[in-house]
Amino acid sequence: MLKDLGTPARGLVRSAGMPRETRRRRTVLVLVILASFTLMVLDARRSAGSPVEPLRHAAAAVFGPLESSATSAREPVDNLRDRFAEVDRLKAENEKLQAENEKLTNELRTTDYARNRAAELDRLLKLAPNYTVTPARVIGIGSAQSFNHTVTIDAGTADGVRPDMTVLNGDGLVGRVVRTTEATATVLLIGDRNSTVGGRLNATMALGFVSGRGETTGALDYKLVDLKARPKAGDRIVTWGSRGNAPYVPGVPIGTVTSVTLTQGALGSTAVVKPFVDPSRIDTVGVVTGSPARAPRSALSPEKGG
């Protein structure tokens, strides 16, 4: 007889054999699905009269403040993260700008130095137009403990430099070579106590001797051969040369007379001379020499300079 009941009957029989709790859960699930489906159908109209609209407003009223609170609580965290990112970006840009600024500063310094050296070489050629001059650069200063005013230049015997050669720059007389190696030379400055240079007054052609004081200021003493001669402030002094042009060639500017002191009880006077060359600012110099012994260091001559 059960076979004649059909499929619904068999379902009811199977449901009758299930526990009550299981049947209740299934019933609730079916009702929820049906209710959801009904709400979806009703809300599909999207009109102001939709029965779902009050529920939507109610949900917005309940969950809206919660969502705003969550957003407000998250904003400081997002802002803090953005600030850290901005600080990192600004720090990277600052480091990049500092590196570029340092590079440009170094290039500017290098350019200025090269320009200054070129100007000194040009003045050197104009100062000694009748001599072949081998250029060099000061690479060392004599020890203060030795009480000698000397500098070391980067030209030596391989460049044709020998002792007792005149050294000058674009301002005037620097000194003379006293020692040499293959690649370097030691130059005794005219301000040293052991330095004496024959000097001639430009105004009167009177001869005298210029001696160093060994002072860092570079001041020199000048005594005339003619005891009756009277130099005056502003007179310019140049070298009158040595036999065989060693150690000094003629015509190189030495300095300017700044003051004159008369010798009491005797004829003659002593003048204080300010040298044209500042001993604390010597860089590019020229050694008056013949043709260099090797080709790498080119010698400056009037023909090449022109």
Topology of the domain comprising 128-305: Thrombin, subunit H (2.40.10)
pLDDT > 80? residue 223: yes
Mean pLDDT of 125-147: 73
- C-alpha R_g of the chain: 50
Amino acid in position 223? K
pLDDT > 90? residue 237: yes
Looking at the DSSP bridge assignments, the partners of residue 262 are 269
- For residue 153, which of 121, 113, 189 has the smallest C-alpha distance? 189
pLDDT higher at 294 or 284: 284
Q: What is the pLDDT, as a whole number, of residue 276?
A: 93
Q: What is the pLDDT, as a whole number, of residue 254?
A: 94
Q: What is the pLDDT, as a whole number, of residue 186?
A: 94
Average pLDDT, the chain: 75
Q: What is the pLDDT, as a whole number, of residue 41?
A: 61
Q: What is the pTM of this model?
A: 0.57
Q: What is the pLDDT, as a whole number, of residue 112?
A: 63
- For residue 180, which of 136, 210, 213, 148 has the smallest C-alpha distance? 136
Q: What does the alpha-carbon distance between residue 36 and residue 5 come to, in Å, rounded to a whole number? A: 33
Q: What is the pLDDT, as a whole number, of residue 131?
A: 75
pLDDT > 50? residue 306: no
Mean pLDDT of 26-35: 77
pLDDT digits (tens, 9 = 90+) for 63-84: 556 556 656 655 665 666 667 6
Would you say 172 and 150 are in contact if contact means Cβ atoms under 8 Å apart? Answer: no
Q: Where are the domains of the chain?
A: 2-51, 128-305
Mean pLDDT of 13-41: 69
pLDDT digits (tens, 9 = 90+) for 144-199: 445 578 999 999 999 999 999 999 998 899 999 999 999 999 999 999 999 999 99
Model confidence at 295, in pLDDT bands (50, 70, 90)? very low
- For residue 184, which of 162, 152, 149 has the smallest C-alpha distance? 152
Amino acid in position 130? N
Q: What is the pLDDT, as a whole number, of residue 280?
A: 85
pLDDT higher at 234 or 96: 234
* Phi/psi-derived region of residue 218, left when phi > 0, alpha when psi is between -120 and 50, beta in every other case: left
pLDDT higher at 161 or 125: 161
Instruction: Please report the DSSP string for 274-293 in residue order.
Output: EESS-TTS--EEEEE-SS-S
- For residue 238, which of 228, 226, 248, 227 has the smallest C-alpha distance? 248
Q: What does the alpha-carbon distance between residue 205 and residue 18 come to, in Å, rounded to a whole number? A: 141
Model confidence at 118, in pLDDT bands (50, 70, 90)? low
